[in-house]
Amino acid sequence: MESGNSFEQVAPSFASTSSSSSYPSLQCDIFINHHGVDVKHNLARTIYHTLGLLGLLAFLDVEVLEAGDLIPVEIQAAIAHASLHIVIFCPNYTQSPWCLAELSFMLKTGTKIIPIFYYVDPSDLRWVAQGKGIYTDAFSQHEKKGR
């Protein structure tokens, strides 16, 4: 994914949605980046609730966002305000332009990122640069689409 992409380029239809939330409500300690289909209702939710039990305010879209929220802006605000990011890498992670856009924005903030590898090996990320591994095809598709 090219670093110039924004959330609006990933999903331009969200750019014109009205927002019912304000930035202060999205300030959180930890932002959880994940591929929803794979881990939203099991691992990501478990991490979210466990952090809450420890007194930490985490951001998990399904738990925090409401209908009518300006999704790209709300997510960017949560990422920008978080003091730590958790990225859950799973087999289908790179198929999501949202996951990659969020990861790109996290990297730009310079905030510490804790990776969790869920049914993938850390070497799967290293192989991408060599055109190998489970994420290679997804990255190629994103590049073809200008992401």
Domain boundaries, the chain: 23-121
For this structure, is 143 an active site residue?
no
The second-level CATH assignment, the architecture, of 23-121 is 3-Layer(aba) Sandwich (3.40)
Give the distance, in angstroms, between the CA of residue 90 and the centroid of all CA atoms in the same chain. 12
Identify whether the C-beta of residue 113 lies closer than 8 Å to the C-beta of residue 85: yes
pLDDT for position 18: 34
Whole-model pTM: value is 0.73
What is the C-alpha separation between 44 and 30, in angstroms, rounded?
12
pLDDT for position 123: 81
pLDDT for position 108: 92
| Average pLDDT along the chain, 147 residues, taken 10 residues at a time | 44 34 63 88 94 94 62 85 95 86 91 94 73 69 65
pLDDT for position 3: 40
pLDDT for position 48: 94
DSSP assignment letter at 24: G
Catalytic residue among 2, 66, 102, 143: 102
- Residue whose structure tokens are 């049914």: 119
